[in-house]
Structure 1
């Protein structure tokens, strides 16, 4: 395979679900629509958006837990969407997942050591002494104590269980890990610990991540590149610092404004921007608005926004945004140094 090519390429991916509508009818839910991005080897691509934006569906399509309706997913030169009904074991080994709620994905009747040993047995069978040493190494790698190999999931804290989930993913020596909201159920201090652990493991083992979250600040800390999703479409994509510091799309600005930060001055600026930006509720994915799907909530929407779907266009410094009025939008109230903004009570 080409070592200079991206490890993962998502090309015009769409995922549709057929839903029952009464006794005999059905409707189509377009969960993901024409999404494209790449993940370079040893790097992190962050996907951010509200609940219902399609983030987890993209992750599940990459993992082959849901079927792509159109487009391609190419992993290290292989077209994942062409695998057929059976997924090769080698792909299952190369692409692992860490879910939001580890307690539901860990067997409550198995000790932590047994859980890790089961993953090793399936993908990397070895003699018992070597297996025990590998389990001990994995537990140490994720910052757990050796005695915790004999504990059950309910005997661990939420952060410790998430470390076990990470260790289980590492047990098969993957190249890509889909992190699906891995810290959203944890308190702030534990979130920081888990994020730092993931970054340390990436440096040590050369891992690549798809990091899915709804908090743009968390995603920026983890990622080299960020994609912002709204109702199944990418509305902004680019280098993490550019998207975070100079958000171009009104929806990205809304996400920034609604994120809590430690600095009270910065939070006051974001709260003011939030009052100016957020309008209405998230539309139903079953009946998205015509044209730009964000037009019902956007303070800058014009008639043409309800008539035409915007395409991604360059905004500078390697970023792109899908907005018909990029040239007419004022500078974001939350861009740049928030401490320089005037704050009133």
Structure 2
């Protein structure tokens, strides 16, 4: 790995540019689930020079992808047999409730393929992977991007450009599949953050899943105010409720599998809100909440990422070293 950039976590698109991966041959990619994330990944991978194909449960979704020139089938065994024949990297891109069925088919038709996923929680996926005997070639993944839209029609090959892509460095992860997953993330335009599953899930409960819950509550509060409140609503309400426009089933599929971590952060947030309520009632003041919140936002805006340059996959203690670097804000922008 070589030093290339230093970026800001608050303004990735301005100062953090992913560097194209060089020299290594791009292994084929088989994407299972071609909705917003999986379909965008397939588009991005093919655009970056990968041989890629996919599977989609919905016949209409598969037809739409084929109409755009992508090899997407409703025949899961056929897609997996092609992956096995080509030694492809398989990407599981279905909601958590469908993961077990997909992994069962992978175990039947392509058990020797390298395997990753783009599901928003990592611990339950890893448990399912190991239950099906697929752990030896598995590397967890989660691109931190998305929109409120869904389906093939919403896919965008630039969705991952300058995004963060979490790539697992859990105990037992092997260097070869890890490198393939990281290289795919980089070629799609993302920067890689190495992280273990449990720490990933606790972090995304705070910065992804809790915002979904708060957005739903805020949207409900606004609607409860009737037509006048909604008629007066402007930027704060619009921005604060953006993700509440996500399909309810999708929100549940994102948040509920991470319920333990989400419950912890919800309790913490309710304590903060309770203290603000009590202060407002007793002293007509929100000073503690707004000053602490402002400082926290400033910390986010000024946070600096740094390039991981001294850890190579497969080296002694490479998993532990990458985990520690990720905890300190380190990112990977290229592989030599």
- Higher relative contact order at CA 8 Å, sep ≥6: structure 1 or structure 2? 2
Give the structure with the higher percent strand.
1
Fold equivalence (TM over 0.5)? no
Q: Please report the TM-score for the alignment, with normalisation by the length of structure 2.
A: 0.38
Q: Please report the TM-score for the alignment, with normalisation by the length of structure 1.
A: 0.37
